[in-house]
Structure 1
């Protein structure tokens, strides 16, 4: 069974974007450093995004994931994407991801959108949180209210000289089957 990994950067105060949705507050990595991004990306063959995240990524320039199959969840069905690797999904995210996990393939990267629903449904296997040493004060929070606690098992931590810190967890939910 394929695993779903939430791989995301967050400010120290828990925001993934500014109030306007921008990520301009994210630092530029030092030369030659990608914080393990290339290694992670080599394991993934699909992404999951919400429509707002998709539109934000498009505003940054050239589509960065042309070699992956990208699923964009949207309540508004779209007929076509300007990117051939993008498919819009208007069905229930939980049902869709449940089926997607059963198909052969690599890691499914949860970039943004539908995070809470997938977490609550036990469909997220790992969290790779990159804590940026910045306080931005307001914005789009990483976490919204959850209906129940979710225990985590720490797999790995890493800190870089610029203060960036990786917290890598496996969800240890008793209802999940650990792969």
Structure 2
């Protein structure tokens, strides 16, 4: 069975973006380490599918670059009926039901990109198999939470922890 992996970064106070969706703080030059990608390349090699909420998709479209995952099957969950694009299939059905079916299909692992609402729905449904969470040494004060209100208590096992010279701490957690 395919795994759903939430690979994501958060501020020390648990935010994945500023209130307006801005994530530029993740790319601050003071955090750069030459040659270090925090497991991103390995993740991309292990997956063939991405999942994201509509707000996260809009943030990605706002990056000054071509769509970053053209070689993957990309599902965007939206409450609105939207036409599919060259790189994205829009899904209006219940995310938990959709992902349960998706996990049963043949293929590589699935990257849950976010955001907080989708993270919460899939966590509460028991569909996230692994979380790779990188804490960035910044306090934002407010923003979009890693998990939305209504998240159920979950006990996880830390399978790996890594610290980096720039202060990042990365935890790999499983059910």
TM over 0.5: yes
* Inter-partner Cα distance in structure 2 for 1:149 and 1:142: 14
Cα distance in 2 for residues equivalent to 1:148 and 1:56: 27
1:102 alignment counterpart:
104
Tell me, in whole angstroms, the C-alpha distance in 1 between the residues paired with 2:51 and 2:4. 9
In structure 1, C-alpha distance between the alignment counterparts of 2:36 and 2:151, rounded to whole Å:
38
What are the equivalent positions in structure 2 for 1:32-47 lying under 5 Å apart? 32-47=35-50
State the match for 1:12 in structure 2. Answer: 12
TM-score scaled by length of structure 2: 0.93
Deviations 1:108-127 (A, max 9, x none): 00001411111111000011
2:170 is aligned to: 166
Deviation (angstroms), 1:103: 0.2
State TM-score, norm by structure 1.
Answer: 0.91
Give yes or no for contact 2:135–2:170 (8 Å, CA) kept in 1.
yes
The aligned residue for residue 143 of structure 1 is 147
The farther-off stretch of 147-156 and 7-16 is: 147-156
In 2: Cα distance, 1:115 partner to 1:96 partner? 14
Q: Hey, what's the Cα distance between the residues in 2 that align with 1:143 and 1:102?
A: 25
TM-aligned CA deviation for residue 147 of structure 1: 5.4
Runs of 5+ unmatched residues, structure 1: 172-179
Q: CA deviation at 1:106?
A: 0.8
Aligned with 1:42: secondary structure?
helix
Give ranges in structure 2 of 5+ residues lacking alignment.
Answer: none
Say if 2:156 is the partner of 1:156. no
Aligned length: 169
Residue 25 of structure 1 aligns to a residue whose secondary structure is helix
Distance 2:152 2:21 in 1: 27
RMSD: 1.2
